[in-house]
Structures are given as structure tokens and as C-alpha cells.
Amino acid sequence: MSYQFDVVVVGAGVICLACAKYLVEQAQVTHQGFEIRPGGEDPSTVNARCLINAAGLYAVSVAKGIDGLAVNHTPQTFFAKGN
């Protein structure tokens, strides 16, 4: 959360979604950046110049769900065994 504090101090906003795969209803690329429509009982629209996809194992499916995102900006999945 200290990064969130740093970002808010410089005048930006931060929205944290627990699991973007389940909470983002629609996202698309616009001329100004991104338009995100979170799901839920009270739908809204969020506009952002920068979107950080931190969905972990779901990052590829989240990126593929962003309308208008160039293929070269879609990550590839690399699974590894960890012990």
C-alpha cells in the first residue's frame, strides 16, 4: 500500500480489484488510455491513462479481454514448477 500512497501524493488515483477476472465487466483501449467498467450492483465507468494488469495467473486472459489491445501487448503464459 505504500506505492498507493506515493501515487496518490502526486495526484493520481489507484483502484485495486481483488481479482480482475471476476470484477471487470468490460475494458477497452481509448484515445486517452483505457475505459474500465467494473461489474457489480452499481455499475460505473473508470477512465485511466495507465492500466496495470496484476492479475497473476489470470493476466493473459484479462489482457485478451481488453478490447483494442494490440497483440504485442498481450503477455504469454509461462508455467514453472516451484518447490
pLDDT tens per residue, range 52-73: 888 888 888 888 989 999 989 8
Q: What is the pLDDT of residue 30?
A: 94
Q: Is the pLDDT of residue 7 over 60?
A: no
- Please compute the mean of the pLDDT values over residues 26-55 and round it to a whole number: 84
Tell me what pLDDT residue 42 has.
74
Helix (H) / strand (E) element for 3: namely helix 2-9
Q: Is the pLDDT of residue 83 over 80?
A: no
pTM of the model: 0.68
Domain positions in the chain are 16-73
Phi, psi of 61 (to 5 degrees): -70, -35
At 21, the pLDDT band (50, 70, 90 cuts) reads very low
